[in-house]
Structure 1
Amino acid sequence: MAHPMVTDSLNKLRNENIRITPQREAILEFMVETDNHPTADEIYQALSAAFPSMSAATVYNNLHLFTKVGFVKELTYGDGASRFDFTNTQHYHAICEKCGAVLDLYYPVLDDLEDITESLIGFEVTHHRMEVYGVCADCLVLPK
């Protein structure tokens, strides 16, 4: 049985008159089940055995479709590789400068950041993102 977030996402695609393919469904399921913000190539590698005829371009194109529909965000952090994040809640990211891990950071205090920005300085906000950089807990415990 599909994860409820996958089902919701498939319904959004249907509402946009976008055909549901097994590949699209598999990419969505992978995105919902993983929390490591994979690259398109990592998704392709993970699914290629189950879908041998699927190309890396198919994965990339579907990720951009999901981004356009609004339930996947493309993350770029200067390492040249876009990472993709399935998201249904506002959250931020903590990036490890040693291993490159991207961890979700939920901090509800910032939920009204856009409204506050608009009311304080009259700035019309379209979107925002915040990143925190440092060293993750796993890297901190590794021997030097």
Structure 2
Amino acid sequence: MSVTLNEAISKLEAENIRLTSQRIAILEYLSAHHIHPTAEEIYHGIKENFPGISVATVYNNLRLFTDLGFLKEMKYGDASSRFDFSTKPHYHVICERCGKITDFYYPGLEDVEMAAGKITNHEIHSHRLEVYGICEQCQKEQKEGVQ
């Protein structure tokens, strides 16, 4: 399910969750920036307009949005979690140089889940696909000799 800002606000209202200006700012940031930001990036992106906001407030709201199902937390090892405002099934291409994450849509790989379950006798619940390479901007910088 792909979520819009208005749908997220409607979900908060339906759950009787107060629409604070900070919550709205976080949602607006997520809606405007399709970079799969970390909590820190969101914090730095909105703190100018909300000098009293803390990173903890950002984290708490991101957790709330994740629990309500319209935000997806992406965990990669020990690195900071990134947050994806699109919960519609999709995959990611990750730049090995700058870390940029780009969404791409491809038919579901449910047959892979089924095969993995049969081969391993696991009950499979989900999967994720990550493809790694060098993004267009980094390729350009490499050609120009920028480090």
Structure-1 residue corresponding to 2:136: 137
Any idea what the Cα deviations from partners look like across 1:83-133, whole Å, max 9, x if unmatched? 1110142111111111111111111x22xx337734883864433211111
Pairwise mapping of residues 66-105 of structure 1 onto structure 2 (< 5 A)? 66-78=65-77, 80-105=79-104
Change in Cα spacing, 1:19 to 1:115, as seen in structure 2 (3 Å) is: farther
Query: Sequence identity of aligned pairs in percent?
Result: 49
Any idea what the Cα deviations from partners look like across 1:15-66, whole Å, max 9, x if unmatched? 2222211111110111011011111111111111111111110001101111
Change in Cα spacing, 1:18 to 1:126, as seen in structure 2 (3 Å) is: farther
**2:72/2:87 contact within 8 Å kept:** no
Structure 2 distance, partners of 1:137, 1:79, is 26
Any idea what the Cα deviations from partners look like across 1:67-97, whole Å, max 9, x if unmatched? 1111111112236211111014211111111
Gaps of 5+ in 1: none
User: Mean Cα displacement is larger for which, 87-96 or 73-82?
Assistant: 73-82
Gaps of 5+ in 2: none
Change in Cα spacing, 1:12 to 1:123, as seen in structure 2 (3 Å) is: farther
Structure 2 distance, partners of 1:91, 1:140, is 24
Structure 2 distance, partners of 1:128, 1:22, is 35
Give the letter aligned to residue 117 of structure 1: E
Structure-2 residue corresponding to 1:32: 31
